[in-house]
Amino acid sequence: MNRSPGTMAVTSFELRKLAAQKRTSITLALAAVVPILAVELLKSQARPPKDTLFGRFIHDSGWSIPLLLLGFAGQWLLPLLTAVVAGDIFASEDQLGSWKTIMTRSVSRSQLFFGKALAAVGFALVAYVILTASIIISSVVLVGHQPLVGLSGQVITSHDASRLVIESWASVAAPLMGFTCLAMAISVITRNVAAGIAAPVALGLVMQLIGSLGGIEALRPLLLTTPMENWHGLFTAPAFTGPLQVGIAVSFVWCVVSIVIAFAAFHRRDYPG
């Protein structure tokens, strides 16, 4: 990305715009508060969800709850979390009719594009870190930091479990960036805020459905939702990280392809005025 002063000036301006919007503060507040309510709800359940991954251990170790919630978050929450801004940051200018004013600034189209893209990526990462920290901290505080039973039946010490939980959530940042770039591409191409926000969520659900079908083993690793599950290998004995590494590479390809498509569409279109 072009990180010239012009690009960073655009990024700074876009971040100030985001900070002034109620939607931004509400989204970040929900990312901090909702996990606490979810953990308290799970803790109070008399019957743990034994049919879900790590669900049977939610009363035995606080480290199991972040993993349980990570499995659900990848289905729709994380694509929505990033699309709230990434799917809107370009299309909103079309909706407001403000491109004429923006294009008069002393920055190039490339600087404008990458400045907005960096702002969207920055918001997605901040929101994700807040969500992750809230889930992990509230789980440990409300349930405890007891040892965790792994997927192979092995007992994982509290120290190792804390490291693996953090690594698991960190690994999902890669496909999260993929959905961020995908949302930006949809925002640029459709020029529609609703499509920019809703389409990544819908595509994520479709990918989840396709990934659950049989006979598509060759296609499944290429889906952007598959890397959100590849952390499972960290909790087996012995651990395996091959799918995790493939998932990060696949997420990077999604990012590059989406950014290239968005950049090309942004450059070749005409703007009124």
Structure tokens at 122: 């920055």
Give mean pLDDT, residues 38-48: 90
Whether residue 68 lies inside any domain: the answer is: yes
Cα angle value 182/79/137 (rounded, 5°): 135
CA–CA separation, 230 and 248 (whole Å): 9
Supply the Cα-derived Rg of the chain in whole angstroms.
Answer: 20
Query: Tens digits of per-residue pLDDT, 251-271?
Result: 999 999 999 999 999 988 776
Whether residue 12 lies inside any domain: the answer is: yes
Structure tokens at 43: 């803790």
Domain limits for position 140: 5-268
Whether residue 273 lies inside any domain: the answer is: no
- Binned at pLDDT 50, 70 and 90, residue 64 comes out as very high
Whether residue 172 lies inside any domain: the answer is: yes
Number of domains in the chain: 1
Cα angle value 124/220/132 (rounded, 5°): 25
Q: What pLDDT is attached to residue 207?
A: 92
Please give the model's pTM, rounded to 2 decimal places. Answer: 0.90
Q: What pLDDT is attached to residue 1?
A: 46
Query: Tens digits of per-residue pLDDT, 158-216?
Result: 999 999 999 999 999 999 999 999 999 999 999 999 999 999 999 999 998 898 887 78
Asked whether the predicted pLDDT for residue 90 surpasses 70, the reply is: yes
Q: Average model confidence (pLDDT) for the chain?
A: 90
Q: What pLDDT is attached to residue 212?
A: 85
* Neighbouring-strand partners of residue 98: none
3-state secondary structure of 149: strand
